[in-house]
Amino acid sequence: MANTKVRAASLYMNGRKWAECSENTYEVDSGDEPQFGDPGLLGYSDGAIQSKLTCKAVVPVAGSSVSMLDLMKAKADIDVAVALIDGKIHQVTMRVLSASIQSVHKNGTQEGNFTLGGGEPDITG
């Protein structure tokens, strides 16, 4: 059995990797909705596939700086690669949709949760 590798989701700007999510949750949603009629549930519509990535912390790679809030304000597109789901890489262009910052003043720590949203991922590998 091959060794399974778990990698951080990588964030790219202008073709260059500039950060990784240290902990993340990745979701893909079909966008399908239930269709109801007189007898009840008739089936589901074919919706637009959407993806969502929530990063607990964003860590810049060496030589980079990150301001997720600036990217959100600028409505900037970010290329995201979520690695090794069933041995494949999911690539999708996303935007920062929300930010939540948690601080503990006693020990001087600060963490952020950032949610990014995009369309259907391109799956390679």
Q: How far apart are the C-alpha atoms of 40 and 17, rounded to whole Å?
A: 49
Query: Model confidence over 23-70: pLDDT tens digits?
Result: 889 999 999 999 999 999 999 999 999 999 999 888 888 888 878 889
Asked if residue 56 is part of any domain, the answer here is yes
Structural tokens at position 34: 């239930």
Higher pLDDT, 50 or 14: 50
- Per-residue confidence (pLDDT) for residue 6, from 0 to 100: 63
Q: What range does the domain containing 57 cover? A: 9-30+46-124
- Per-residue confidence (pLDDT) for residue 21, from 0 to 100: 87
Residue 10 has pLDDT above 70, yes or no: yes
Cβ density class 70-100: b for 16+ within 10 Å, e for less: ebbeeeeebbbbbbeeeeebbbbebebeeee
Number of domains in the chain: 1
Residue 110 has pLDDT above 90, yes or no: no
Asked if residue 41 is part of any domain, the answer here is no
Asked if residue 39 is part of any domain, the answer here is no
Cβ distance 94 to 27 under 8 Å? no
Asked if residue 118 is part of any domain, the answer here is yes
Q: Which residue has the tokens 């809030």?
A: 69
Q: What average pLDDT is seen over the chain?
A: 87
Q: Which residue has the tokens 């993340």?
A: 24
- Per-residue confidence (pLDDT) for residue 2, from 0 to 100: 52
Asked if residue 61 is part of any domain, the answer here is yes
